[in-house]
Chains A and B, each alone.
Chain A
Amino acid sequence: MKLIFDRPSALTDKHTHYCPGCTHGIIHRLVAEAIDELEVREQAIGVASVGCSVLAYEYFNCDMQQAAHGRAPAVATGIKRVHPDKVVFTYQGDGDLASIGMAEIVHAAARGEKITTIFVNNTIYGMTGGQMAPTSLVGQKTTTSPYGRQAEHCGYPIRMSELLSTLQGAVSVARVSVHDVPHILKAKKAIKKAFETQLSGKGFSIVEVLSTCPTNWGKPPIEALKWLEENMIPYYPLGEFRSPEEVK
């Protein structure tokens, strides 16, 4: 029999705790495939953050550290400075990265820290039960914005990729989505490119992945994918904001 589909070696065989229809599983797989294809699993050191992906250290089959809320880029900095020859990545959600961890991500990018950040943006705090995130869309109902996010009360969602792409040290910045197969393939390419940027030693790399949260959005998985496409992509345009080719 011919093997046509298998688990990447960079994933463990543990069942994840993610809700049905959540796209974290797809994104984990894409990261693991990129690690496998670049043959760096044994050199990889990942940093799990606080949020739904807090248990990522159980799912990635490589050395892992679990970081305090928002601090993954600082932890990754410490690791990378000790082991500059290793491949260091963080896996963070939007509450972790764009709210409590804003300082750490901005400064890791500004320093051109040679790490890769996988930033999963689903516009909500998933683990704590669906509170408003800095990325929640205007009008979006969450448990702490029950009337819908009101811009006059709490401002506008932060576009992290655009913000970080103003920094010279951030040499690879891209936003992708995983709402259908063609986009998943593009996301895979971007993640691999981000790791390649790190291997080339040029600077900081980040991939923002638009993701769904069917449970806390209160939508069935397929509707959630549609909601992402129709509501998130217009506000969070996909594309490459910074590319190592621009960096001489």
Chain B
Amino acid sequence: MAKQLMKGNEAIGEAAIQAGCRYFFGYPITPQNEVPEYMSRRLPEVDGVFLQAESEVAAINMVYGAAGAGARVMTSSSSPGISLKQEGISYIAGSELPCLIINIIRGGPGLGGIQPAQSDYFQATKGGGHGDYNLFVFAPASVQEMVDLIMESFDIADYYRNPVMILGDGTLGQMMEPVEFKTPQKRDLPPKDWATTGCAGREPNIINSLSLVAENLEQHNHKLQKKYKHMKEHEQRWESYKTDDAELVMVAYGTTARIVKSVVNKLRDQGVKVGLIRPITIFPFPEKAFAELPSTVKAFLTVEMSAGQMVEDVRLAVNGKHPVHFCGRTGGIIPAPAEIIKVATEIMGGEAK
């Protein structure tokens, strides 16, 4: 299929449909409105269902019902709406249901603003709702990568029986880039023999997260933790850029990583040995990327559109071996290359040019 120019939010919808998603439940919120709008137009064309729910709370519970009924289903929202969905997401994770959740992050806290941010990293990667659970979280850095990851996400969700989240930001949702819809490699998926489809010819199926006997609930938690451990062992993804001889390794994901990449190129032109680790999965966090680094590394600099969230995972991965610095902007402000260069140069003991 030829490349076409598409807005990020619309590409999200098309990628999901091409991956077999036929059900979308959502509620309007800026800056992701093009996702439900696109789905409301496209899903009826493929015999799917788009339904605008009365709230984000209802939308995520419709997702729970549809996922429990065996469907490929998704929802999308932005930060305040994702907060409202957290109860339902916890139930979905507890009941081990597959689905896709898109968060096109805007600045917070509270109603915040409508400009891009990465301040929902903790919420996305540390559970978000109540109880011990994790989502599988991708953090794409371009519209093409977002499309590729979405097309894989439904298989991953089915494979693990776990919700997958795409963590984007307002920039990725709103910008237009050329995209190509490529069929991803398929995973071997077991049949959904657990789904509620009517019990003709079998015993009834029950979708449930209630477990009143403490020992049983602990067993269930062990099972969930085993799943997350498997993800950590087998699913970490990242891009390493010019890290071979790097003395300073910058760490950034999503939109910020694009800016940092150009910072790396500029500093390299000035002879400063810098590189970039760009996490693509942020749960599981790509700690393996840090183990692979050369002995030339002296320090790390994490750059985020937040007050410092992923930097905590970077510190855990670095484990005290080197100093980990942070540079961030909040409230919807995208960090400019010059300010990152200034911080990086200071860390390297030089003066910004």
A residues bordering B, Cβ < 8 Å? 41-45, 47, 54-55, 57, 60-68, 71, 74-83, 86, 103-104, 106-107
Contacts and interface: CB of A to CB of B under 8 A. Distances in A.
Contacts of A41: 199
B62 A78 contact: yes
B27 to A, nearest CB: 11
Contacts, number: 129
B208 A81 contact: no
Contacts of B23: 78, 81-82
Interface stretch (B67-75, B106-114, B327-335): B67-75
B210 A54 contact: yes
Interface in B90-137: 91, 95
Contacts of A57: 206, 208
B198 A104 contact: no
B55 interface: yes
A68 B69 CA distance: 16
A86 B198 contact: yes
B225 interface: no
A67 B88 CA distance: 9
B64 interface: yes
A30 to B, nearest CB: 19
Interface residues of B, number: 39
Interface hub of A42, A55, A63, A77 (most chain B Cβ within 10 A): A63
A64 B66 contact: no
Interface stretch (B46-54, B232-240, B281-289): B46-54
23 contacts: A42-B199, A42-B200, A43-B200, A44-B198, A63-B199, A64-B204, A65-B206, A67-B65, A68-B61, A68-B88, A68-B91, A74-B65, A75-B64, A75-B68, A76-B65, A77-B51, A77-B65, A78-B66, A80-B65, A81-B62, A81-B66, A106-B54, A107-B58
B10 to A, nearest CB: 23
Given A63-B198, A81-B23, A81-B49, A74 B205 contact: no
Contact of B55 (A60, A86, A103): A103
A62 B49 CA distance: 25
A83 B54 contact: no
B197 interface: yes
A45 B53 contact: no
B61 A67 contact: yes
B64 A64 contact: no
A74 B61 contact: yes
Nearest to A64: B206
B68 A43 contact: no
B37 interface: no
B206 A79 contact: no
A103 B54 contact: yes
A78 B88 CA distance: 13
Given A41-B199, A82-B23, A64 B207 contact: yes
A80 B66 CA distance: 8
Contact of B65 (A55, A78, A107): A78
Name the 10 nearest CB pairs between A and B, nearest first: A78-B65, A74-B61, A78-B66, A75-B65, A63-B196, A78-B62, A42-B200, A107-B54, A71-B61, A82-B69
Contacts of A81: 23, 49, 51, 62, 66
A106 to B, nearest CB: 8
Contacts of B49: 81-82
A108 B281 CA distance: 37
Contact of A79 (B59, B69, B95, B210): B69
Contacts of B68: 65, 75, 78-79
A68 B65 CA distance: 11
A78 B71 CA distance: 9
Contacts of B210: 54-55, 66
Contact of A68 (B51, B87, B199, B201): B87
A66 B208 contact: yes
A67 B64 CA distance: 8
Given A45-B69, A78-B64, A63 B55 contact: no
Contacts of B207: 64-66
A78 B73 contact: yes
A79 B63 CA distance: 9
B128 to A, nearest CB: 15
A82 B48 CA distance: 9
A60 B49 CA distance: 29
